[in-house]
């Protein structure tokens, strides 16, 4: 009996070794088209990392490799190779890869693209426990993601196409109601993800999900709460440590003090942000550029907010990231904004304020309270309106 058990253990260990030591295999079986089309194994961004490429031959393709630990990757196909990145013709199929043998079965025309909201049910991926768990997570997230998109569109239409009465006054309440629903949905998405992490604390999928949390809204103290949900081995793994480092390195969380920075006024003199933010007032830090259409398009809204609330304790400081200072000055002449205008000492997205505040685009806005704490990081449109109403009208 003991001899039988020993032989069984040896066989079991050998099978585990074969499964994991030799890495992963992804076998694709594509029906209904795609013959000769190139297939790429990328990261989820589809541009930072291209791990491998192959071609569909006789309806099949194959990737082989090895990962140190299970991780998210993506099957990428450019159906229109001359327009790579075009949403409707770029296949984007997330796949959680571990060192196992995986099979993907899919009709070519049903492969999800960047514009797809969901992965069709006819797409079958088998062989990876990590991917099975990820697909379960994604399926549960799907209705919330769909609702989030629906509510954002509802808000967008109500806000930007609000009807005016006979006196020209727009009824913005439907937009604000839609925005409240949208924010509640975002909170529900956050709670769903946190619950998933908690229930799968030792899975690398939970670590991946933790990295997708929109955490800055909830304050810097949320970092340790999220990390504590992960098992100790996962938290102390290289990827767990990398996540901790990334979360802590995000420059701005709600509740943080604003970050001081040197800027230039219209005459080229150095101005500190701390010199122009008045204690006791609410200040909107507006980061923009003269060449940015949405920035210029939002100026009338900022003028309305400034006019309505400046006397009550609301101020704006606009910081341009224009590399061409003359173009910035020309825009100031055209727009005639009544509040303080300064410019970053750097140039464009290589400038100092972009790096200091960790922004990835303009316009970007931060609302600062009388004590110098950032209380809103997406201070635009209805988000700014409802916060100002809360602060000054209730």
CATH number at residue 73: 2.60.40.10
Residues 95, 204: one domain? no
The Cα 159–Cα 170 span in angstroms is 9
Residues 114, 139: one domain? no
Which has the closest alpha carbon to 283: 357, 370, 377?
370
Is 267 in a helix, a strand, or coil?
Answer: coil
In three state form, how does the secondary structure of 145-165 look? HHHHHHHHHHHHHHHHCCCEC
Which has the closest alpha carbon to 124: 114, 113, 111, 133?
111
Report the run of H or E that residue 128 belongs to, with start and end.
Answer: none
Please answer whether residues 40 and 93 qualify as being in contact, where contact means their C-beta atoms are separated by less than 8 angstroms: no
Handedness of CA 189, 154, 174, 374 (dihedral sign): positive
On whether residue 1 sits in a domain, the answer given is: no
For 326-335, the CB contacts below 8 A with 24+ separation are 327/290, 327/291, 328/289, 328/290, 329/266, 330/290, 331/290, 331/296, 332/266, 335/296, 335/299
On whether residue 8 sits in a domain, the answer given is: no
Is 344 in a helix, a strand, or coil?
Answer: strand
On whether residue 337 sits in a domain, the answer given is: yes
Which tokens belong to 290? 């003269």
On whether residue 255 sits in a domain, the answer given is: no
pTM of the model: 0.90
Residues 143, 103: one domain? no
C-alpha pair distances (Å), 192 with each of 3, 96, 120, 256: 49, 19, 22, 26
Report phi then psi at 181, rounded to 5.
Answer: -60, -40
Residues 235, 277: one domain? no
Which residues form the domain of 237? Answer: 133-249
Residues 312, 208: one domain? no
What does the pLDDT read at residue 16? Answer: 37
Which of 107, 127, 147 terminates a domain? The answer is 127
What does the pLDDT read at residue 13? Answer: 39
On whether residue 117 sits in a domain, the answer given is: yes
On whether residue 14 sits in a domain, the answer given is: no
**Length of the chain counted residue by residue:** 394
Which of 93, 127, 161 terminates a domain? The answer is 127
Residues 28, 82: one domain? yes
Which of 249, 284, 307 terminates a domain? The answer is 249
The Cα 297–Cα 308 span in angstroms is 19
Residues 189, 119: one domain? no
Q: How many domains does the chain have?
A: 3
Could you tell me the CATH number of the domain that includes residue 365?
3.40.30.10
Residues 214, 318: one domain? no
What does the pLDDT read at residue 20? Answer: 47
> Average pLDDT of each block of 10 consecutive residues along the chain (394 residues)?
41 38 91 96 93 97 96 95 89 96 97 92 95 96 96 97 79 96 98 98 98 97 97 97 98 98 95 94 98 97 97 98 96 98 92 95 97 97 98 90
Which has the closest alpha carbon to 63: 79, 45, 39, 47?
39
On whether residue 7 sits in a domain, the answer given is: no
What does the pLDDT read at residue 167? Answer: 65
Residues 342, 224: one domain? no
Residues 287, 361: one domain? yes
């Amino acid at each position: 009996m003991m001899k039988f058990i020993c032989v069984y253990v040896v066989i079991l260990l050998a099978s585990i070794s074969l499964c994991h030591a030799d890495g992963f295999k992804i076998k694709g079986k594509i029906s209904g088209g795609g013959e000769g089309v190139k297939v790429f194994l990328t990261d989820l961004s589809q541009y930072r990392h291209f791990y491998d490429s192959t071609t569909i031959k006789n309806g099949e393709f194959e990737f082989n490799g090895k990962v140190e630990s299970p991780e998210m990757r993506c099957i990428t196909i450019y159906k229109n190779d001359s327009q790579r990145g075009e949403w409707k013709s770029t296949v984007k199929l997330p796949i959680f890869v571990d060192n196992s043998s995986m099979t993907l079965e899919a009709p070519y025309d049903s492969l999800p693209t960047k514009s797809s909201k969901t992965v069709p049910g006819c797409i079958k991926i088998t062989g990876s426990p990590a991917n099975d768990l990820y697909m379960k997570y994604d399926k549960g997230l799907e209705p919330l993601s769909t609702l989030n998109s629906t509510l954002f569109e509802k808000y967008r239409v109500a806000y930007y196409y609000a009807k005016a009465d006979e006196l020209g006054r727009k009824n913005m309440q439907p937009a604000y109601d839609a925005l409240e629903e949208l924010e509640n949905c975002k909170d529900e998405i956050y709670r769903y993800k946190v619950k998933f992490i908690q229930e799968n604390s030792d899975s690398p999928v939970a670590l991946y999900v933790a990295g997708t949390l929109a955490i800055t809204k909830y304050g810097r103290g949320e970092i340790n709460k999220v990390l504590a949900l992960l098992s100790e081995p996962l938290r102390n793994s290289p990827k767990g440590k990398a996540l901790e480092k990334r979360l802590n390195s995000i420059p701005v969380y709600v509740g943080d003090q604003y970050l001081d920075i040197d800027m230039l006024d219209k005459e080229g003199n150095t101005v500190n942000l701390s010199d122009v933010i008045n204690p006791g007032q609410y200040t909107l830090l507006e980061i923009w550029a003269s060449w940015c259409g949405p920035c210029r398009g939002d100026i009338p809204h900022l003028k309305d907010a400034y006019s309505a609330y400046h006397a009550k304790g609301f101020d704006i400081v606009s910081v341009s990231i224009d590399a061409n200072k003359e173009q910035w000055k020309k825009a100031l002449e055209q727009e005639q904004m009544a509040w303080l205008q300064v410019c970053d000492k750097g140039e464009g997205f290589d400038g100092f304020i972009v790096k200091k505040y960790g922004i990835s685009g303009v316009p970007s806005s931060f609302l600062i309270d009388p004590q110098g704490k950032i209380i809103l990081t997406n201070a635009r449109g209805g988000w700014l309106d409802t916060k100002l109403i809360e602060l000054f009208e209730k």
